[in-house]
């Protein structure tokens, strides 16, 4: 005796199959997220250096959420290496949406000279960010190289 599947269930199985194939096809058509630095905020100053936050706008063009596992970047300001940062706490990038990611950076005064010149002359600063982001996707983990450069407003430390 063979098992009998009710005819009314066949459209449901077909729908599940088509949707599953669509999700899998979208996963195979992975597109790299687009990253832009929107602002640099000075968050602390001390005798040996300070801290700042890089505000990143990350756009996920994929039809599914991505889960960041880590983000490591090097920051150059006015063509001088300024500092390095790493985020190891998970973060989410929603499907077809922009997400703000804040990356704290520690720096030492030895690297500030060229960067401060941009602050005092233009209220904006030329930057370059390079690094790696680790992502979990529906088809497995990916490490992506990131590169961004340009001019960005610099927000001074507020008392």
Structure tokens at 13: 């199985």
Model pLDDT for residues 10-52, shown as the tens digit of each residue: 666 555 655 555 555 555 688 999 999 999 888 888 888 888 8
Nearest to 93 by CA among 113, 65, 116: 65
The topology (CATH level 3) of 31-155 is Immunoglobulin-like (2.60.40)
At 4, phi and psi to the nearest 5?
-115, 125
pLDDT of residue 101: 94
| Low-confidence residues of the chain: pLDDT under 70 | 1-28, 110-122, 156-159
Structure tokens at 21: 């194939």
What is the number of other CB atoms lying within 10 angstroms of the CB of residue 8? Answer: 7
pLDDT of residue 27: 53
Rounded Cα distance between 99 and 103, Å, is 13
């Amino acid at each position: 005796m063979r098992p009998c599947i009710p005819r009314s269930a066949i459209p449901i199985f077909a729908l599940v199959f088509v949707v599953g194939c669509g999700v899998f096809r979208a996963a195979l058509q992975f597109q790299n997220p687009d990253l832009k630095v929107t602002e640099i905020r000075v968050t602390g100053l001390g005798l040996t250096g300070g801290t700042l936050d890089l505000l990143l706008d990350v756009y996920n063009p994929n039809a599914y959420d991505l889960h960041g596992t880590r983000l490591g970047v090097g920051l150059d300001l006015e063509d001088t290496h300024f500092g390095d940062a790493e985020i190891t706490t998970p973060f989410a990038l929603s499907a077809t949406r922009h997400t703000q990611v804040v990356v704290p950076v520690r720096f030492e005064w030895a690297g500030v000279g060229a960067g401060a010149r941009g602050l005092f002359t233009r209220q904006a600063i030329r930057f370059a960010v390079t690094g790696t982001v680790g992502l979990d996707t529906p088809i497995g983990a990916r490490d992506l190289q990131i590169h961004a450069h340009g001019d960005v407003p610099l927000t001074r430390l507020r008392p």
